[in-house]
Amino acid sequence: MTSMWHGCLADTDYFEMRSSGGHGYGVWVTMPPGYDRTSMQAPVVYVLDGNWAVGLTAPLIVTQLDPMQRIQPYIQVSVGYAGEEAQDWDRLRNRDLVPPGERIAQELVDALEMGVQAGARTREEADAYLAELRDTHADVFLSFLTAELHPRIQREYGTAASGHGLFGYSYGGLFSLYAWLTGSTPFASIGAGSPGVVTTDSQVFASLQAMGDNPPATKLHVTFNDRELLGHLAIYRNLAMNTATVLDRLTSRGRAVTSEILHETHVTGLQASFLSYLRTCRAA
């Protein structure tokens, strides 16, 4: 990493990696303050949407030195897209973070159309965004994280054997819920911020039904934002209401899930959601 970037993201390495499926990813690895990989072993927290999230979340690694509420040591691994694909991260994430077979909500189509009419997106960009949602592969991306990237991080950074975490926001939060529901990951805790459960027939609800009385052992922390629920955009109102329904179905069965309503919009909620996850799931 250049000296300029190192000054912005201290103790951060960057590398690029191609998955067995042929997709390229950019990976930022941020070490804890004073971390010596030759003598220390910290668990890993994977953060999705690295192109957007790394600048908002990686600096919070200093919470491990906060005398008022210290967070357990962790290595942050932010995963995004590399090279020319980095500029298209907001549509490529659809392919990787959305479960297979997830229906495209009409409210999302309407929101994209509003963006086109307002000049926020071109028609071509909106069409490309929807095209990625028609062929989604969260299962493939989860396999890449757990079976390809995680072993490399363990090998090159000498991480702890257990205690790892996963955090995602929006569609990343939907992916986090999907990963939690699979029940077969190396994660001890998972944070799902404003998960993109935007339809009442989401795959998440089918998975909750299939789970029955055998919940995963992984700790789950869910957040959403009051301004999503009370705002004027139907897509965000549905997201918040469906997330509340997910929480209701989990807690009514006695599941050990934690949650918090944050005073943010969908856009501003990412950093607050990550901090909520750290405070709840990784407090020292």
- The encoded tokens of residue 171 equal 């569609």
Residue-wise pLDDT tens for the chain (284 aa)? 455 455 578 889 999 999 999 999 999 999 998 888 888 899 999 999 999 999 999 999 999 999 998 899 999 999 999 999 999 999 999 999 999 999 999 999 999 999 999 998 999 999 999 999 999 999 999 999 999 999 999 999 999 999 999 999 999 999 999 999 998 889 999 999 999 999 999 999 999 988 877 788 899 999 999 999 999 999 999 999 999 999 999 987 767 799 999 999 999 999 999 999 999 999 98
Domain membership of residue 271 (yes or no) is: yes
Cβ burial, residue 254 (10 Å; 0-12/13-18/19+): exposed
Burial pattern 62-79, b for ≥16 Cβ within 10 A else e, equals ebbeeeeeebbbbbbbbb
The Cα–Cα gap between 193 and 180 comes to: 13
Could you tell me if residue 109 is inside a domain? no
Instruction: Evaluate whether residue 62 is within a structural domain.
Output: yes
Q: Assess if residue 121 is contained within a domain.
A: no
- Structural domain includes residue 129: no
DSSP E strand boundaries for the chain:
12-18, 24-30, 44-47, 75-80, 164-169, 187-193, 219-225, 257-262
Q: Give the range of the structural domain holding residue 27, as residue numbers without chain letter.
A: 3-101+137-281
pLDDT for 84: 92
Q: Is residue 152 one of the residues assigned to a domain?
A: yes
pLDDT of residue 4: 47
| 201 token code pair | 């027939």
> What is the per-residue pLDDT for 183?
86
The answer to the question of residue 260 being in a domain is yes
Rounded Cα distance between 107 and 98, Å, is 16
pLDDT of residue 215: 81
Whether residue 75 contacts residue 32, with contact meaning beta carbons closer than 8 Å, is answered with yes
Distance from chain centroid for Cα 108: 19
Q: Which of 208, 164, 149 is nearest to 21 (CA)?
A: 149
Cβ proximity of 167 and 220 under 8 Å: no
pLDDT at 39 (0 to 100): 83
- CA 158 – CA 179 distance, rounded (Å): 24
Give the three-class secondary structure for 232: coil
What is the number of domains present in the chain? 1
CATH number at residue 196: 3.40.50.1820
Q: Tell me what pLDDT residue 5 has.
A: 54
Structure tokens at 71: 């967070």
- Do the domain assignments include residue 123? no
